Amino acid sequence: MPWPHDALTDGEEIVTQFRPHWRLLFLPAAVTLVVVVGIVAVVRWVPGDGLADVLPIVGLLALFAWFAVRPFVDWFYTRYVLTTERLITRRGLVAREGVEIPLENITNVNFHQSIVERVLGSGDLLVESAGETGRSEFLDIPHPDRFQALLYKVRERRTLELKGLPPSGGDDDVAARLRRLEDLRRDGLVDEDEYRRKRAELLDEL
């Protein structure tokens, strides 16, 4: 589900977009396994007839919907998007909510990883900004340290652009951006189509 390009302003481009870390799907996957095993056990080994047969299955399906389907839907319909102008969060399938932070308003970015999160490549990001947004938490995102570094670089380019100054770098800067793009693809922060498009754009700058 790529970010709709008609939601961007003129000249605005997507730098990267991603969902929360896949570790949030551990519990839904475990519940799904338990429910499947439970239904099989009820059908094969639990005696009874009529309503007595149906109630355990209904209970297991309710468990499945609450602890497996709902978290998966929340994960699938949560998206973080970094553009050349904004940091965007969107959540929800029916009732939706979102936060947009202009890059020039960002004052500080910190990340936190526990030992387990570092092994899994996940963590939390805290973005402090001027204006009404204040502090925004981005919980359980993939590789928050790398995203922090990328966010700082994109914010710097945005600041220079607003001041009418040329971006720093040159061929070396393009080569570094190509390496970062490859890292983003490897970490699953950029899909294959977006990777090819961004790579072609960077190569045109050489």
Could you tell me the pTM of the whole model? 0.68
pLDDT tens digits, residue range 35-56? Answer: 677 766 666 666 655 545 566 6
Q: Examine residue 102 and state whether it is found in any structural domain, yes or no.
A: no
Q: What distances in angstroms separate CA 122 from CA 18, 52, 180, one per listed residue?
A: 13, 44, 18
Q: Examine residue 125 and state whether it is found in any structural domain, yes or no.
A: no
Q: Examine residue 190 and state whether it is found in any structural domain, yes or no.
A: no
Residue 37 lies in domain: 26-73
Output b/e per residue, 105-128; b: 16+ Cβ within 10 A.
bbeebebebeeebeebbbbbbbbe
Q: Examine residue 151 and state whether it is found in any structural domain, yes or no.
A: no
Mean pLDDT confidence for 188-192 = 74
More confident residue, 76 or 32: 76
Judge whether residue 206 has pLDDT over 50.
Answer: no
pLDDT tens digits, residue range 66-107? Answer: 667 788 888 888 999 999 899 999 888 776 788 889 998 998
- Strand boundaries in 40-180, DSSP class E: 79-83, 86-91, 97-102, 106-112, 122-129, 135-142
Angle at 177 between CA 122 and CA 172, to 5 degrees: 140
pLDDT at site 171: 45
pLDDT tens digits, residue range 120-179? Answer: 899 999 999 886 667 888 889 999 999 998 998 888 888 878 776 555 554 446 666 777
Q: Examine residue 45 and state whether it is found in any structural domain, yes or no.
A: yes
pLDDT at site 57: 63
* Number of domains making up the chain: 1
Residues 9, 137: Cα–Cα separation, whole Å: 25
Q: Examine residue 42 and state whether it is found in any structural domain, yes or no.
A: yes
